[in-house]
Structure formats: structure tokens, C-alpha cells
Amino acid sequence: MSQSGIVSWPSRSPVWSFSWNVTDGDTEAIAFSNVFYRGIKVLHKASLPMIRVQYDSGNGPYKDQLSSFNMQGPVKIYEGSPGAGFRFLVVESYHIIGRYRLLNRWIFRSDGIILPQLYSAGLQHPSNHRHHCYWRLDFDIDGASNHLALQHALTGTDWGYGPGWRPHTKEVATIHIGDNAWAVLRKGANRGYVIDKGPADGASDWFGRIDVAITAYRAQEDLRGALGTAWDDQIATQVSGESVDGQDVVMWYCAHLSHILHDNGDEWHVCGPILRPFGY
């Protein structure tokens, strides 16, 4: 059974507002739409459409999707404060797939930081393995056009956006370099988000070959959980080299969550990027 809702938080002088839903079928976990921070749009849509699992033992591989079918109980929404000068809102769902226990958690902080996180525990097979987790982030920085994606390199070269910030003007699927930082901004507005690699997000390998893909938004390419197989994420089918300079930009972010065999798989592991605002 699908679930959905609208959030405006806090209720007085809202900092965050968005819609959310979770469905069955070709689902994408909790899908957020029309995400606004302090009244300025950040994302048209954000979701986790695909998790591919790679075992060293030769079992699998698997493609997992988080849906209302494998969700345990309703979506939970709650708030808190760590006493560090900001408050936060959490939207999360708990899922069981085979022997895996999966917590899909999104944290929206009052300072504008967004933390998409996937927690995983459990072993489908007694072997080391990796969960390759694919977030799809359809940015609408102050609108659905005039965007630019940049990747930070450890160099003093300035391409017009500060030392090391190299723009990607065409669609690309690639790996992290340098300090693992990316950005999506609205051209001419000095407003956008920096996307940092999470501390446990691992590294790409022969099975999960990319860390980030940048594509131009095409409605027909929003396939929810239908994109990808256990053997192939199929993101290359959406990367054709067309221009993304000044276009509506979509970012695919992949974390490679390592799970080493011990403790019967009961230890929780977490991965996910860190999205930091600027100019808001």
C-alpha cells in the first residue's frame, strides 16, 4: 500500500517544505518532490531507486529496491536537536529484504544540509560484500534551468568558479578525484549545493564502476526502480554526451558500502553523501 504526505517544517516560519511518497512495484524508496529550503527550490525530485549487491563468494549479484511491499510499518517523521546550533527533521523507512535489514533515512537540517543515508545490517550469504547504493538527485536550484555541475580537483587552476572547480559541460559518468567534492549551481546566482563524499562511501570497482553521473533531465529517463539490473546499473544508457551547460541537471550519486564478514552480520553500516548549501 502506498504512503504519501506533505511536510512544512517547522510549522511556524517553515525552513523546509516538500512532498513525499513511497509505493510498490518499480519503486525508489521514499521519493521527495518539490523540495524548498527557506522558500527557494533545491530539488525537483530525490530518491534511492537502486541498490546492487556484490558478493566476493560468487553468490548473487542482486538488485534490491525499497518499496511499500518490503517496508516494515509506516514512514516515520520526527525532529530533534543535537545542541550544536541547528535542528533537524528526519524522514525514514525500515525495510527487510531476505536477511537484510535496511533503514532508509533522510535528514534535513535547519542550516540547509541534507543527509541521505542508507543503514544496512544482515548477511544473505556468509561472505564479504558491498552494497552499491544509487541516489538520483534531480536538482532545481531556484528553478528548472540554467544549472551547471562542477567537480573539484586539487589544483590552483580557476575555470571561473574558484580554484579547482572544473565545470562539466557535457553528460558524464565518472569517479571521484581530489577531495571528492562536487557542486551543482544556478549560473549567475552563486547559489547551489556542494555534494561531498560520505566518510564510509567506499570506492568504485569493476562491478560498481561509477561514483557520479551527470545527465540532462529527460522525463522519459526517470524510470524509478525499473532502471538497472543485478549485473549492470544501466546508467550509461542515459549518458550520451549531450550538453548540460545551462540545462536542468540530474546527478546520480553512488556509494559503495562495504560489509566485512563478522558478528553474524548484526553490525549496522551506513553510507550516503553530504549536501551542503551555499548562497541560500
Residues 186 and 245 sit within 8 Å (Cβ to Cβ): no
**Is 0.85 topped by the overall pTM?**
yes
Q: Where are the alpha helices (DSSP H) in 52-195?
A: none
Cβ contact 254:210 at 8 Å: yes
Grid cell 589544483 is found at 155
Give 24-66 as a DSSP string.
SSS--SSEEEEEEETTEEEEEEEEEEEEEEEETTS---EEE--
- How many Cβ atoms sit within 10 Å of the Cβ of residue 269? 15
**At the top level of CATH, which class does the domain 3-278 belong to?**
mainly beta
Please write the tens of the pLDDT for every residue from 155-198. 999 999 999 999 999 999 999 999 999 999 999 998 999 999 99
Partners of 173 in the β-ladder: 213
Q: Give percent of the chain with pLDDT exceeding 70.
A: 98
Residue 258 has pLDDT above 80, yes or no: yes
**Per-residue pLDDT, 263:** 61
Domain ranges of the chain: 3-278
In angstroms, the Cα distances linking 44 to 34, 60, 279 are: 5, 34, 18
- DSSP at 143: S
Percent of the chain at pLDDT exceeding 90 = 84
